[in-house]
A and B are shown apart, each in its own frame.
Chain A
Amino acid sequence: MDTRGPLAPELPQLLHRSPQPCAWTPGARAGEKNVLSSTAAAQALATLIRPCYGPHGRQKLLVTATGETVCTGCATAILRALELEHPAAWLLREASHTQAESRGDGTAFVVLLAGALLEQAELLLRAGLPRAQLRGSYAAATTEVLATLPSLAVRSLGPLEDPFWALYSVMNTHTVTQTDFLTKLVAHACWAIRELDGTFKPERIGVCTLRGATLGDSCLLPGLVVAGKPCGQVTMVLRGARVALFACPFGPASSNAPATARLSSPEELNKFRKGSEQRIEKQVSQLADMGINVVVVWGEIDEKTLLRADRSGIMVIEAKSRREMVYLSEVLGTPLLSYLVPPLVPGKCLRVYGQELGESLAVVFEWDCPSSPALTLILRGATTEGLRGAEQAAYHGIDAYSQLCQDPRLLPGAGATEMALAKILSEKGRKLDGPEGPAFLAFAQALRSLPETLAQNAGLAVAGVMAEMYGAHQAGNFLIGVGEEGIINVAQEQVWDTLMAKAQGLRVAADVVLQLVTVDEVVVAKKSPTQQQDLNSDSKKAKKCPSLVRKNSFGINK
């Protein structure tokens, strides 16, 4: 019997399962600890993102793993640069990426809301609510929110309306200067490219950045910019370009199997040379006969063939990627050819010319203004940082417009929607009995944290503004939001959010929270050898305290 005592307690060590010995403490205690630790991780992430939320958000200086320095306020970029250790934080990041991929906007919203929801969940769990029940009531609250959301959509973008006012607030969140001008450009581009039946293809608008001048010099080019360079001496075609696209070497065809010329005398060599030159000449003149004067090639370009082409006045462009060729073929309406034969229908456009874009060369295909099938937004700016911000904003604007084409409904922005939802939820929650009541209230509280963040970022006296806003909403005026100088009427200031992005964001945030609250234990396996090398010795330490959100990639603490 005496051996029994010392042997039994050794077991946890024998049972090598995870680096967390606390996993063995049964039941509620281990579980509670875990939700708390994931809350801590989510909180840490939310704290990081919080100052970047909204139009008055601040920027972060990131030093990425490759040593690049980026100054950005975009939550997606910040999250990507972070190296996270805690699995709960991964989940959160993944959720915000999902949002970014599908809607392009609202990543910060997802992180902040999820953080706030988990914070509230922690309080409820501490009060003794079982996890499964908490999950159930949170799910009920989410359904409620998503059901009431469409009823708050007070405006919608008419099919023939200028989208300027709708895009303004979306772009305002992401740019620093000259939002008006930029929004006007984007709105104009979207407006022009939209087809009569209401379909909108966002890929028809290209955005290209060009360093130099100021943002005010940005313009809209009725054409398409393709990475590539004109090879021959003909570098521009200024009138009536007729384009052929080839996805094969521009020159004599060669076989896949190794082929060797077997020549036994100089005459034969001469004959061969002449023969191939003739063939080339024939092919090129065929092209010229069809009136082709621009050739885009994805493949090798033979010197001699190029010379011939120059002589016949054909502009030869070497394209950089097949994807761009396919896109060109779609826009120009001419097939991608795999032999050097003239196409049945050449692609037509007004002008084709090469242009230097920063350090690389590009080729511009231009059409007549009104009937252009593609537009390019050329952004100018003095610094790369500024350009990147402007580009980001332009993409957000285009994304937002393409969503508006699918669903034109708009919600009041500037935190007004969140406040209104919170009010509805807490009214419902007070009437409910059982665990759902507190959960509804907790959800409402989490929603209220968003306008609070907005106020904080705008540098307002948070308590006062929130109180004022709360009062206005309680009085039934659900168009009151947070502005630069205090509360504003959203309808007057024209601050709107798209319904689709907001609904998706709410759903994504709620989903990740619902998953996290049911987790009672985190089991982390040993790092596989490849990763261990990367993280070397400190990975062990990090595993022991998994709530640690590591920010090494910032390079600040090094």
Chain B
Amino acid sequence: MAAVKALNSKAEVARAQAALAVNICAARGLQDVLRTNLGPKGTMKMLVSGTGDIKLTKDGNVLLHEMQIQHPTASLIAKVATAQDDITGDGTTSNVLIIGELLKQADLYISEGLHPRIITEGFEAAKTKALEVLEEVKIKKEMKREILLDVARTSLRTKVHAELADVLTEAVVDSVLAVRRPGYPIDLFMVEIMEMKHKSETDTTSLGSMVVDHGVRHPDMKKRVEDAFILTCNVSLEYEKTEVNSSFFYKTAEEKEKLVKAERKFIEDRVQKIIDLKEKVCGHSNKGFIVINQKGIDPLSLDALAKHGIVALRRAKRRNMERLSLACGGVAVNSFEDLTADCLGHAGLVYEYTLGEEKFTFIEDCVNPRSVTLLVKGPNKHTLTQIKNAMRDGLGAVRNAIEDGCVVPGAGAVEVAIAKTLGTYKHSVKGRARLGVQAFADALLIIPKVCSEFWFDQQETLLKVQAEHSESKQLVGVDLDTGEPMVAAEAGIWDNYCVKKQLLHSCTVIATNILLVDEIMRAGMSSLKG
């Protein structure tokens, strides 16, 4: 009888062997759920949220977020896996699979009477060795466009189907390269992902420009402006209520008329300032002038601006304002007091595009864009979300590759290599910890196994790959089209170094934690139900 029972008769307890069994079972359950989703040939899951939104995905991170996991152990693993995603942006599914497999292998030895503590020691030793191997096999390269394309393609193919992945690859790499500034960390927020429910998914493109998701509101304003100055501002151009409670009094109709006019004067002055600036910079030339305001512009101001050939957009998003000044130059203005020509940005072409009810304004041909837009197109909402999630992972992968300055071969090649090295390393480990090393080595092989699961005989494929590896001394992975071994580097399949590193760390830690649990208790305060 557990001690807790004496204190709280309602407590749920599982001890020792039972606790371990529960944990291992949960980990393997989670593994079973996700194993079909690994790799480029994985299948999708359809998730329907409580409000009826549909998501089609095979991204482990999304899946773990959306599935409401209540089992304590499973949610522990899920949290670690999503933490992996937060840090590196990828490797969630692999994480879950390896944890599950580590526990499965450990279970074999524990059922033969080995103490979990000894296995965890073995895991630790194996992890250190595995990290050494990872250091050895990583390939330092200058991150040229070609290799970044390979990295992005590898990452994207595990998220969406091949044709779409190829389209996205180019877009993702180009946009990261565009926002890259030597000496600064890459700010992925400078890549805006804009969605458009339109055409088909393969029309997704990367634009060296800005897209604002609304259009001009005045019928007289031009829909297309070339060679335009751009003024970004955050100044209200509409009537605002006074903060104190005030009111007007009048005696005659003229007075009333005057009051009405005076009320507008304040705003009209501001509008006039913009118009003056426009006259100054544009003069009689054909240049366009565009005002993008974060606050509102009322119809009367719009009218006045339209009369002078100024195109105005109102209620732009805050992040767009920041990015606008990066994309076209110029400064975002907060007051019109000292408005000069220096505050203006410039764009070669600005045009409006209407799509059903929605309007988009494209700002193109900027001189030195430091911010780009990925225009995601798709016929329906779930496709858009799917692409957006995949894009984020792709962007993360490219950024990781640039920041690491190195990559590791994918397609299970690294895992095979580590397992091989651990196989020889275990002989140098003294005592029973050796078994832990062996378990670790076996567990890693889950990745190449699962990749080829539904297609070929997994054991046969794995053996072929292992044989090829020890013969050729190259890093060999699984070719998922043929089921034959292939040299991952030659096929252009590259994974992120930091993802693998993080993976080895977090898997070992969490597997160790779970193995060392000897009692599960649920004795906390429950909700009102009692």
Contact = CB atoms under 8 A, between A and B. Distances in A.
Contact of B246 (A7, A95, A257, A519): A257
A338 interface: yes
User: Which residue, B25, B51, B239, has most C-beta atoms of chain A within 10 A?
Assistant: B25
Interface in A98-115: 98, 101
A158 interface: no
B455 A252 contact: no
B248 A259 contact: yes
Contacts of B163: 139
B interface, over-half SS: mixed
Given A16-B70, A520-B43, A526-B50, A260 B251 contact: no
A26 interface: yes
A324 interface: no
Contacts of A136: 162
B253 A279 contact: yes
Contact of B256 (A17, A101, A252): A252
B46 A257 contact: no
Interface string B28-63: 010011011000011111111111101010000000
Interface stretch (A174-182, A270-278, A388-396, A494-502): A270-278
Given A14-B70, A257-B241, A519-B45, A95 B251 contact: no
A8 B21 contact: yes
Contacts of A34: 46
Interface stretch (A329-337, A400-408, A480-488): A329-337
A507 B251 CA distance: 70
A520 B36 contact: yes
B14 interface: yes
B46 A87 contact: yes
Interface stretch (A206-214, A223-231, A261-269): A261-269
A521 interface: yes
Nearest to B42: A132
B257 interface: yes
On chain B, which size bracket covers the interface? 35 or more
B277 interface: no
A91 B54 contact: yes
A316 to B, nearest CB: 21
Interface string B4-28: 0000000000110110011001100
Interface residues of A, number: 76
Contacts of A526: 50, 68
Given A279-B257, A326-B219, A523-B67, A262 B247 contact: no
Contact of B253 (A272, A326, A524): A272
A208 B480 CA distance: 60
B248 A258 contact: yes
Contacts of B74: 15
B200 interface: yes
Given A7-B14, A15-B29, A272-B251, A523 B260 contact: no
Interface in A23-42: 23-24, 26-28, 31, 34
A272 B257 CA distance: 12
Contacts of B219: 326, 329-330, 336
A182 B22 CA distance: 72
Contacts of A268: 251
A523 B69 contact: no
A130 interface: yes
Given A15-B70, A26-B32, A263-B251, A94 B48 contact: no
Interface in B184-224: 200-201, 219-220
Contacts of A536: none
Nearest to A26: B32
A258 B263 CA distance: 11
Interface string B93-111: 0000000000000000000
A330 B259 CA distance: 33
Interface in B252-266: 252-254, 256-257, 259-260, 263
A522 B48 contact: yes
Contacts of B260: 253-255
Given A14-B70, A95-B380, 10 more contacts: A91-B382, A135-B161, A260-B250, A262-B250, A263-B251, A520-B36, A522-B48, A523-B45, A523-B46, A525-B49
Closest 6 CB pairs between A and B?
Answer: A275-B253, A528-B50, A276-B253, A520-B43, A259-B248, A15-B71
24 contacts: A4-B18, A11-B25, A12-B29, A14-B26, A15-B70, A17-B67, A31-B36, A34-B46, A88-B46, A136-B162, A139-B163, A255-B260, A255-B263, A257-B241, A257-B247, A260-B249, A278-B253, A335-B220, A519-B56, A521-B33, A522-B48, A523-B48, A525-B48, A527-B50
Interface of A: 1, 3-4, 7-8, 11-12, 14-18, 23-24, 26-28, 31, 34, 87-88, 90-91, 94-95, 98, 101, 130-132, 135-136, 139, 247, 252-263, 268, 271-272, 275-276, 278-279, 326, 329-330, 335-336, 338, 507-508, 511, 514-515, 518-528, 531
